[in-house]
Homo-oligomer: A and B are copies of this chain.
Amino acid sequence: MSKSKLTKHSVFSSAGSLNYIGKAITVDPTINLVTYNAETLDSVPCSKISELPAVFSEEMVTWIEVSGIHKPKMIEKLGIKYDFHPLMVEDLLNTTQKPKIEYFPKNNHLFIILKVPNYNETTNEIENEHICIVLGQNFVISFQEQDHVDVFSTIITRLNRVNSKTKARDSDYLFYSLIDIVVDNYFQVIDIIEEKVMTLEREILKEAKNIHQNKIFYLKRELAFIRKTLNPFRDIIQSILREDYNYVSQEVKVYFRDVLDHVFENIDATDTLREDIENLMVNYHSQLSNRMNAVMKTLTVFTAIFMPLTFIVGVYGMNFENMPELHNPHGYFVTLGVMFVLCITLWVYFKWKKYI
């Protein structure tokens, strides 16, 4: 969530400069070449760009699945091979680039950038993985960061299934499936946050404590972070539905409407949680005020009962020679009685005023 961990954006470099901006990674990127149609499926790992086909079969769907974008040289080679626009390669390498959709008319590339949120168990922070997908004629090229999570493994599993619906369809359906998987990840992360909010709610409604203040602070920020990465999804999917991009068929648009539903569901859930947090904060502050009130009442009752009593005993502690009461044999007991009655009276008064 903080930029400081990343290799810095070299802001003054010229457009299309190919620098990787993201976490330092040492493992080599991996490339998977998947080709399929309704009948066959072929999946081979490639270690070099040169092993990839120069042109794509028209009978089959080709999916080049790249894991790891931290080698600019390699990504640049791939870009040159498939004629990517330099600005597109720049965005591929920049993990701080926000989600967006871009269409390059010269080579008919539809290019989208997405973010997959993951809950990092060790830092207890949400981290965004940078995902890029290129849709062209009969092919899809996907890019993800090289880390312990492989967001697209489910799709591989589905393709391997007998009677796979995905296999029987075109590259646009694969394109949709990849986006759908990314959106599905938000459900998981939002569920984790919802769990946290509900735990906090249970705790605060039972008894607000100082520690809750910072918990609210961090939850609000996490929700703001999620909301901010979700927002562009709406525009991206709506752009796919509205514009008539090459290679996105009318039948697959129905599926994109379904993804849009999921995006809205996630946005909606995030907003509900944000409202819940706001209400919790109001409740937290109300409880603080109430408790302050209670403390003040305790103080007032103690002061108001013992001050008059202390004054009375002070009176009879004076050393005047001529104080008739002191010589009265019942003086002491009468004084004790008067103080007892006064004490009871004040007690009842404050009980009636609801201070006790």
Using a CB–CB cutoff of 8 Å, the interface residues on chain A facing chain B are 2-3, 9, 11-12, 14-16, 85, 87, 90, 96-98, 100, 102, 104, 154, 158, 165-166, 176-177, 180-181, 184, 187-188, 194, 198, 205, 210, 213-214, 217, 220-221, 224, 228, 254-255, 257-258, 261, 264-265, 268, 272, 275-276, 279, 281-293, 295-300, 302-304, 306-311, 313-323, 325-332, 335-336, 355
Specify which of B15, B180, B255, B314 is in contact with A255 (CB 8 Å cutoff).
B15
Min CB–CB distance A184 → chain B (angstroms): 4
| B302 and A302 within 8 A (CB) | no
- Please name all residues of chain B whose beta carbon is closer than 8 Å to the beta carbon of A291 when the two chains form the complex: 293
The answer to whether B261 and A97 touch across the interface, beta carbons within 8 angstroms, is: yes
**Quick one: copies of this chain in the complex?**
5
- Chain B residues in 8 Å Cβ range of A282: 217, 281
Of A15, A213, A329, chain B has the most CB atoms within 10 Å of the CB of: A15
Between-chain CB contacts (< 8 Å), 17 pairs: A9-B187, A12-B154, A15-B165, A16-B165, A85-B254, A96-B265, A98-B261, A102-B257, A221-B276, A228-B272, A296-B300, A302-B303, A307-B307, A313-B318, A317-B318, A321-B331, A322-B328
